[in-house]
Structure 1
């Protein structure tokens, strides 16, 4: 009666999971496609695609994903194999490991960052060309 797609057919660029505003999700979540959080998330997120924490989103989570965008509030560790972006309204309290890090003016980041090259990192960008690992301690950026 119901036919499901094989797991290999999931496109990590598509968002198939939404935790909507007013919703609370407690527990760990794993997804091959992208995830968007507009409500409250309490638990770890492991995603092969991208994770977006919307302006009304609040996550007490360790997040592992390809790209992560924080426009709301996150308390936890972030591992992005690609880019982590903290928008002007975003708040992050936790440590970061990412190939590329963008912190917009007005964003708040409290924690440490570690940047590294990956196969996904754009080679044309100056920060991707650097072979040195950059680490900083107790960063508090009110850019």
Structure 2
């Protein structure tokens, strides 16, 4: 009836593993190696190795750490993503962000401060190029 995962099975961060459905409320911290989708309400921090998606009906009072975040609902809290944060037309973010890439679609709202990060491999390559030119 239930699938059992063996120690050798790997969780895919590209697949949505956790869904908080519309009409549902969750209180507590979520930590997941896969992606998370929120259509209901959550109060508590979210930590994901994959992506986090907050749908149009979703509402989160959370600090979020993830690979990427797509926000079409409401989020009150701070965000730290390794990649891209997208605030959709219906999205509202009240909080501070740290991201490598940040997109706000027309109609999306952002109230807070933002800090852009640099992709470490790209930054290291740029630094190496500068060192090569300096030594020439």
State the TM-score, normalizing by the size of structure 1. Answer: 0.80
In the TM superposition, residue 6 of structure 1 has moved relative to its aligned partner by 2.9
Q: Identify, as 1 or 2, the structure richer in helix.
A: 2
Is the strand fraction higher in 1 or 2? 1
Please give the per-residue CA displacement for 1:69-114, whole angstroms capped at 9, x wherever unaligned.
0000000000000000000100000000000000000001000000
SS of the equivalent of 1:9 reads coil
CA 1:10/1:55 → structure 2, altered by over 3 Å: closer, same or farther? same
User: For 1:63-74, what aligned pairs fall within 5 Å after superposition?
Assistant: 63-74=64-75
Q: Does residue 51 of structure 1 match 2:60?
A: no
| Unmatched runs of 5 consecutive residues or more in structure 2 | 127-136
SS of corresponding position for 2:57: coil
Flag structure 1 segments of 5+ consecutive residues without an equivalent.
122-128, 130-143
The aligned residue for residue 140 of structure 1 is none
Partner of 2:115: 114
Q: Paired residues, what number? A: 122
